[in-house]
Structure 1
Amino acid sequence: MSTAAGLKRAAYAAMERRADAIASLSDELMRTPEPGYAEYATAARFGSWLEDLGLTPRTGLAGTGVAAVLRGRDDGPRIALVGELDALALPEHPLADPATGAAHACGHHAQIAAVAGAALGLREVMAELDGSVALIAAPAEELGDADALLDAAAGAPGGADGPDGAERADRAEFPVGKAELLRTGAFDGVDMALLAHTGRGGGPRFSVGDTLNGSCLVRARFGGRSAHAGSTPWLGVNALKAATLAAHAIDAQREAFPEDESVRVNYLVTGGGSALGSVPSSAVLHAMVRAAGVDALRRAAETVARCARAGALALGARVETDTLLAYLPLHPAPALDDVVARNAGPVVGDAPTARGRHLGACTDMGDLAHVMPVSHPYCGGAAGDHHSTDYRVVDHRAAAVEPALYLAGTVVDLLCDGAAEARRVLRETPPRMSVPEYLDLRRSITRRRTWEET
């Protein structure tokens, strides 16, 4: 029987022989960005890579997702290596698609290349591992158009306009892909999951154990009454001023959010019409609410909705609020993070590393973390800040090849010797909830309410 060290050497050698191809795949995908739930070319390219490895991928999962399985010598634990297919909407980015405005300003292309590279190496050693590996390309990690998502959610199971359990074949129920993959069963049989994400420029070459916020979208649509702004303004109800008061109320709440809940609220007020001579009869406040825990997220979202009601009450306006859960907070599994860190150390060498930070961003790996152990390490190779026009991967080895190496090494450690390490991780990290409980939680947060001062 080969040792874990020997199996890693064989897997690493196979990946190093094709390191240029892994890096080239990352660069190729960076230059062909696609928006969420429409990543057809990216999914096809990943699928063709898997087919070249002799695998038979399943396609069309949650619309565009792709999955294949590398099988070991028995039916031990199954580990998912996950990459994200989509780019985000950033039309001003130099590498944005001119037709869709999508740009890879978050490094998802490198994740796909890392999973593809790890698959190449693991194929060489699976016959001596006790379990299996699911290779999953997930759609739609980034949020799409907020209004479209909120309108769709109003008719979703648990939403105001749709019966619980209603199936809609024409679109996804959830705004992010891993939630949809969980709902449709693509993660059935998976015991734990790993995803390596590029960090921001100037950050550590490797970080693991970081926690991230969850988030909700809140939209408040204010309705007033138009009137002549000069002659008879008292006959009108100024919806824009109602929205502005709501925004001031949100700002007044900031010091009331406990520091350990990491609450952040970003908002945008739009509308009010274009005629200065009329009292504005409509306005909209959009807010992104983030927090480190589910209960804190619920409270913060309700605070924003309450502020919207206050603005409407003050002006005598009508307001309709929609709340949509976007991401659950990410709390990775320390036992799994330990195995990843042990494998990343030799790969990144003396480069700067970090562990256990709290980051204000969000990811739907947080959704997976509620139903299985996950690890979400950050890697190097990027310049600029996430979601900005100057963000891009400049070192594809650091962003794709290095993660491929330590993800494959982690799998070897987990599944060799009767999968003892994987079984230890599972013992030490019981899931927070079942998939049905998770789906109930998601649906319970999404809601529509209307208030009108008469």
Structure 2
Amino acid sequence: MTGPEELKSLACAEIDRRAGEIVALSEDIMRHPETGYREFRTADVVAGQLEALGLTPETGLARTGVKARMSGRAAGPTVGILSELDSLVIPDHPYADPETGAAHACGHNSQIAAMVGAGIGLATVHEELDGDVVLFAVPAEECIQTSWRLGLRDAGELHHTAGKAELIRRGHFDDVDLALLTHAGTPEPALGLGFTGTGSLLMRVRFHGKAAHAAASPEAGISAYKAATVAIAAIDAHREMFREGDGIRVHHLITHSGAAVSSIPALTEMEILVRAHTIDALRATAKRVEGALRGGALAMGADVEILTTVSFLPYADDAPLAEVVEANARELVGDGYARLTGSGGGSTDMGDLSRVMPVVQAMAAAGVDAPFHGNAFHTADHVSAAVVPAKLMAMTAIDLLHDGAARAREVIAGSGPKLSREDFAGLHDSLTRESVFRSTDHAL
């Protein structure tokens, strides 16, 4: 039997041999960004890449997801190597789509290339592995265009605004036992582990008032917009009571304020994102925010509809799996590896996946010194952002699946209990709430 170090050497050599193709793929996706659940061109490109590896991809999973299985020589655990298909919307980004404003200011283009690159390496050695590898490009990680996504939810086409939760609910991760993902970040470190992410709840809010002429008969109106501004002030008043260490953030956006400046607004709509490091803190903060929204409605005599859904669950790298990834990161980049410190304020739907299996999201250098998700962030160094991470994930998959997949079994056992698909759906549903508050029912 060929040893793991020789297998890793063979896989990395093939990745190096085809590094130009991996870089070209990362550049191509960067120049053709698409937003979540609309990544049809990107999905077609990925499917073509997987077919070129001799695989038979499933397509159209949760609208745009693409998944292919690379079988080992024997049955065993399955390692998922993931990428995310979607982009942000940043119209003034140098690589923005001129029509949609979509832009890869998130580095997902290099993720896709890294996933395919890992597949290129593993294609040379997978018949020596005791288990399978699934290459899985998933939709809709970024929390954007939420009104449109909630419209899909209202229509029954989707249940979740984020792609991984939707795929879990539909059973598309049932045949995966642990998962790896890499994500491009700022210039240093070359590779890093230890990223943590907050969970987040998305709230769709609609204030209903009564229209009237703003000059001739303002007294006949009830301003939905003023109800929203009172609610925003009440939310802000709560901020000094947020507990230190919970990582609470509350972001709000008025998406519709009224029909005309000359009319008292009868409808005002908002989106609110509540973030926190724990599910308990998410629940408590959402309760505060809902109280503030009801207070704004009551103060102005308006009504308010509130839909609260899960955007992401809290995230941290799985410790037993991180040990395997870390050893390979050190081998690849030496002093360029770093353990990330501090609590991340951002969120990712890898947090959802971490509830059902061991996962690690390693960070890789993008080669640009610009704010993440900003209008200047892009993949400048495709080798660091895609080729090196491809090696990292291929090497880790080999460590996990050689010699009877002993290391994969150790990681799964050491990671502790995970949620079943049914329990995962129940957790999401327990955090989902729809309510209507009518101020006339609470008149003083």
Q: Please tell me the TM-score bracket, short chain as reference.
A: over 0.9
Aligned with residue 343 of structure 1, among 321, 328, 348: 328
- C-alpha change, 1:14 and 1:308, in structure 2 (3 Å) is same
Partner of 2:18: 18
Please say if residues 153 and 446 of structure 1, whose CA atoms lie closer than 8 Å, have aligned partners that are also in contact: no
Moved more, 109-118 or 285-294: 285-294
| Number of residue pairs matched by the alignment | 439
Which residue is equivalent to 1:165?
Answer: none
Aligned: 1:114 with 2:114:
yes
- The 3-state SS of whatever aligns with 2:304 is strand
**Does 316-325 or 367-376 show the bigger shift?**
316-325
Secondary structure, counterpart of 1:259 in structure 2: coil
Aligned residue for 2:81, secondary structure, equals: strand
Hey, what's the Cα distance between the residues in 1 that align with 2:327 and 2:52? 30
How does 1:306-385 map onto structure 2 within 5 Å? 306-351=291-336, 353-383=338-368, 384-385=370-371
Find the aligned partners of 1:227 and 1:184 in 2 and give their Cα distance.
Answer: 47
Matched, 1:210 2:195: yes
- Alignment equivalent of 1:411, drawn from 394, 397, 400: 397
The 2-side partners of 1:431 and 1:52 are apart by: 37
Larger CA deviation: 402-411 vs 141-150: 141-150
Aligned 8 A contact 2:81 2:133 in 1: yes
Hey, what's the Cα distance between the residues in 2 that align with 1:277 and 1:52?
60
- State the AA in 2 paired with 1:293: T
- Name the SS for the 2:229 alignment partner: helix
| Equivalent residue number for residue 128 of structure 2 | 128
Q: Given the two structures, how large is their TM-score scaled by the length of structure 1?
A: 0.92
1:198 alignment partner in structure 2: 184
Tell me: CA distance 1:444–1:197, structure 2 relative to 1, closer, same or farther (3 Å).
Answer: same
Conservation of the 8 A alpha-carbon contact between 1:220 and 1:305: no
In 2, Cα distance between the equivalents of 1:121 and 1:272? Answer: 53
Where structure 2 has 5 or more consecutive residues not aligned to the other structure, the ranges are none
TM, length-normalised to structure 2: 0.94
Deviation at 1:189, TM superposition (A): 1.7
* Counterparts in 2 of 1:342 and 1:316: CA distance versus 1, 3 Å: same
| Contact 1:218–1:305, Cα closer than 8 Å, also in 2 | no
Once the two structures are TM-superposed, the CA of residue 278 in structure 1 deviates from its matched residue by 4.1
Q: Distance in 1 between matches of 2:74 and 2:409?
A: 14
Displacement after TM superposition at 1:6 (Å)? 1.1
What residue number does 1:449 align with?
435
Change (3 A) 1:110 1:431: farther
Please say if residues 130 and 405 of structure 2, whose CA atoms lie closer than 8 Å, have aligned partners that are also in contact. Answer: yes
Cα distance, 1:61 vs structure 2: 1.5
Provide the rounded CA distance (Å) in 2 between the counterparts of 1:409 and 1:342: 10
**Residues 427 and 322 of structure 1, relative CA distance in 2, 3 Å threshold:** same
Unaligned runs of 5+ in 1: 156-167
Q: Which amino acid letter does the alignment assign opposite residue 319 of structure 1? A: V
What amino acid does structure 2 have at the position aligned with 1:342? Answer: A
Identity %: 45
| 1:343 partner letter | N
> What do residues 385-421 of structure 1 show as CA deviations (whole Å, max 9, x unaligned)?
2221111000000000000011111111111122111
Equivalent residue for 1:158?
A: none
Asked if 1 retains the 8 angstrom alpha-carbon contact of 2:107 and 2:366, the reply is no
Residue 109 of structure 1, CA deviation: 0.9
**1:8 Cα deviation from its structure 2 partner:** 0.9
Over the aligned positions, Cα root-mean-square deviation in angstroms equals 1.8
Deviation at 1:209, TM superposition (A): 2.4
How far apart, CA to CA, are the structure 1 residues paired with 2:217 and 2:52? 73
Cα gap change, 1:88 to 1:271, in 2 (>3 Å): closer
Q: CA shift at 1:144, angstroms? A: 3.8
Q: Is the 1:4–1:412 contact (alpha carbons within 8 Å) kept by the matching residues of 2?
A: yes
Q: Which residue of 2 aligns with 1:75?
A: 75
Contact 2:329–2:337 (Cα < 8 Å) also in 1: no
